[in-house]
Amino acid sequence: MDDRLEALRRPQQAVDKIQPKPAKRVSNKWILKVGPWGLLLFALLLLSYMFGDKLLPATRVEVETVVTSPDAGERGVTTLPNPVPTGKDPYTGSVLFQASGWFEADPYPYRATALASGIVDSVEVLEGQAVEAGETIATLIHDDAELKLGIARANLEAAEASLASVESEHALSLARMESMEKEIAVAESRRQELSDLAVRAKELGPELVSQEDIVQAGLRLNTQDQKLVALQAQLREREIESERLVAQVQVRKGQLAESLARFQQAELEFERMVIRAPVAGIIQRLMVAPGQKKVLMADNPESATVALLFQPEHLQARIDVPIAEASRLSVGQAVLLESEFLPGKELRGHIQRITGEADLQRNTLQVKVRIENPPAGLRPEILCRAKFLNTFTGVQSGTLRTAGTTNNPNSFGERLAVKVPRRALFNQSGDVASVWAVDKSGYRLELRQLRLGAGGEGEYLDVIEGLRPGDRVVLDPSSDLKEQQRIKF
């Protein structure tokens, strides 16, 4: 009996081995076991991870912000290296800084635009092709426009015929009035004659003229008076008819003017089925293909644009200048441009425009550089690199100015000369020296190599390169200072 019970238990034990055991629940009792000291330790570790860098010991130093003042060109102080004298080649000046950009049309690309909505029938040009002003770029399907033009032409011809008919009637009416006036004049002459006869018959009396003749003379005069009144009434009718026809002529002229305007509108719409080049240039980009619909006045600003054109003799470079260098820009400043498209060749140009606002995300300011004599084959959207020089081309006033002058009316802003305290310099040799400057974080050091100017006789020296307005430098630096060392003031 026990053996049989044991045999019945074995299968159940096998099932128990197959079934997975429930996962153990993680107990949070350890948090209670840690206690407040453990939580405090955890908080300290977290603070150390987040702000540990600021909790490290720092060396106390004395710092001073560099002195800035208006560029001392008027005071005779040189703030830029080797300024080019007036009359010399402005492109031999030293490089202030470099920045990247690309070429584009000057001042903007021209757009060949469809002036009527429609479906593109054919495209007559390709990208990169040179075109003349007025040359066909593309055509729209013009069947509807041609029908409208035919209807408008027929309506115009009908209006012209209607006006001619009314004018003819008016001319006939005027002729009838003239004939009627002549007839009235004859009738008035005849009445005057009959009146004279009637008066003479009465004067002679019955002794010489019979009573019957006297009566007949009076009757003839009365009849002529009635005829004259009738003729004058008919003349008045002719005058009223002429006035009506004059009004009709004015109405027909208005209808003709309206028909002419509709015809010209239909003709213009038909002509607009052909999109032509607005200027002579090169097709920069085609934005159309046969079968594509072009819509005028749509939400998409390019919905009606067929092609972009540029003139190869009018190109400029768009350069994105870092904000840190933007204060050194002025309109007319000389610029040298390099591009992989023209290896080993530098293009000459000058700043012709500085945009009105900076790029907030890229922290740059856009500058337009006009290229002098762009070479053949140069195209928009080719990348380039610009070298901004410390000289001016003189394009604004006709005379060359150096970067040391401050009377440039087109200057981006008042130029600032940077001066560094003598106490901050070390390892000075001629016009080269070193300083410890506070980095962007505001609590670490970075080593700067300076180029000094010739100006400065007292406690401050002019700086050509190495420092910018607002930089802070360490005074009387010790020899144990290191790069990226933490400091406090």
pLDDT number for residue 412: 45
pLDDT band at 183 (very low <50, low <70, confident <90, very high): confident
Nearest to 249 by CA among 178, 170, 156, 157: 170
Q: Which residue has the tokens 């000058």?
A: 350
pLDDT at residue 84 in the model = 40
- Confidence tier at 36 by pLDDT (50, 70, 90): low
Q: What is the pLDDT of residues 343-369, one digit of tens each?
A: 989 999 999 999 888 888 888 999 999
What gap in Å lies between CA 113 and CA 115, rounded to an integer? 6
Q: Does the pLDDT value for residue 7 go beyond 80?
A: no
Identify the pLDDT of residue 31.
52
Q: What's the pLDDT tens digit per position in 235-272?
A: 888 889 888 989 999 999 999 999 999 999 999 999 99
Cβ atoms of 417 and 457 closer than 8 Å: no
Q: Read off the pLDDT of residues 74-105 as tens digits, 9 standing for 90 and up.
A: 333 333 333 344 456 888 878 888 999 999 99
Residue 148 pLDDT: 93
For residue 39, pLDDT beyond 90: no
Contacts 24+ apart (CB under 8 A), 408-414: 408/330, 408/331, 408/332, 410/330, 410/331, 410/332, 411/330, 411/331, 412/326, 412/327, 412/329, 412/330, 412/331, 412/354, 413/327, 414/70, 414/71
Mean pLDDT computed over 160-178: 90
What is the band of 225 on the pLDDT scale with cuts at 50, 70, 90? confident
- Give the chain's mean pLDDT: 80
The beta-carbon contacts of 142-149 under 8 Å, at least 24 apart in sequence, are: 142/118, 142/270, 142/273, 145/116, 145/118, 145/266, 145/269, 145/270, 145/272, 145/273, 146/270, 148/266, 148/269, 148/270, 149/263, 149/266, 149/267, 149/269, 149/270
Quick one: what percent of the chain has pLDDT higher than 70?
79
* Lowest model confidence (mean pLDDT) among 40-44, 207-211, 431-435: 40-44
Instruction: Give the burial string for 25-58 (b: 16+ CB within 10 Å, else e).
Output: eeeeeeeeeeeeeeeeeeeeeeeeeeeeeeeeee
Among 51-60, 78-87, 292-301, the range scoring the smallest mean pLDDT is 78-87
Cα–Cα distance between 62 and 80 in angstroms, integer?
29
Q: Are 222 and 195 in contact (CB under 8 A)?
A: no
pLDDT at 401 over 50: no
Which pLDDT score is estimated for 50?
62
**367-397 pLDDT, tens per residue?**
999 999 899 889 999 999 999 998 877 654 3
pLDDT at position 385 is 95
For the cut 80, the answer to whether the pLDDT of residue 469 exceeds it is no
How confident is the model over 37-41, as a mean pLDDT?
69
Res 70: pLDDT: 52
How many other CB atoms are found less than 10 A from the CB of residue 175?
Answer: 11
> Which of 30-34, 39-43, 311-315 is the most confident on average?
311-315
Mean local confidence (pLDDT), 168-195? 87
**Strand pairing partners for 367?**
319, 354
Return the SS3 of 22: coil
CB 391 within 8 A of CB 84: yes
Which helix (H) or strand (E) covers residue 172, if one does?
helix 143-208
| Distance, CA of 236 to CA of 188 (rounded, Å) | 16
Cβ neighbour number for residue 183 with a 10 Å cutoff: 15
Q: Indicate whether 174 pLDDT > 70.
A: yes
Q: SS3 for 145? A: helix
Q: Which of 41-45, 134-138, 186-190, 409-413 has the lowest mean pLDDT?
A: 409-413
Mean pLDDT confidence for 327-331: 83
pLDDT mean over 278-296:
91
Go through the chain and tell me how many residues it has. 489
Would you place residue 54 in the very low, low, confident or very high pLDDT band (cuts 50, 70, 90)? low
